Amino acid sequence: MNVRVLLFAGLAQRAGVREWTIELPSGATVTTLRAALESLHPWLREVPVAMARNQAMARGDEPVAAGDELALLPPVSGG
């Protein structure tokens, strides 16, 4: 299955794009998605990142389904 992964702020700057699409095996979780992203983009291991799934903070063991909206969130700095 394919999932969309949104990128923001310094992550979008490093990636040079605001969105990745990645092919995942069915049964994937947030943790396996993250591992797949890190092997494609090793610089991700160097930066602190949280993950959101469908616009809420995601735990590592949450399953990822086709059509989910995933996002990589750098440390927030609003206000």
Partner 1 sequence: MGTTHSNRSHLTRSAIELARLVAQVATVDDGAICTFVGTARRNSEGREVNLLRYEAYPEMADQEIGAIVAEAERKFSGARIATLHRLGDCPLGEASVAVVAAAPHRVEAFAACRYVIDEIKARAPIWKQEQFRDGTAWVGDPGSFKPRIP
Give residues in contact with partner 1 (CB under 8 A): 6, 8-10, 13-14, 46-47, 52, 55-56, 71, 73-79
Give me the sign of the Cα torsion angle 64, 69, 73, 79.
Answer: negative
Whichever of 9 and 66 has its CB closer to partner 1, that residue is 9
Which letter does DSSP use for residue 16 in this model?
S
Q: Among residues 25, 34, 16, 22, which one has the least CA distance to residue 73? A: 34
H/E segment holding residue 19:
strand 19-23
Smallest distance from partner 1 to CB 21, Å: 17
Whichever of 26 and 55 has its CB closer to partner 1, that residue is 55
Smallest distance from partner 1 to CB 79, Å: 4
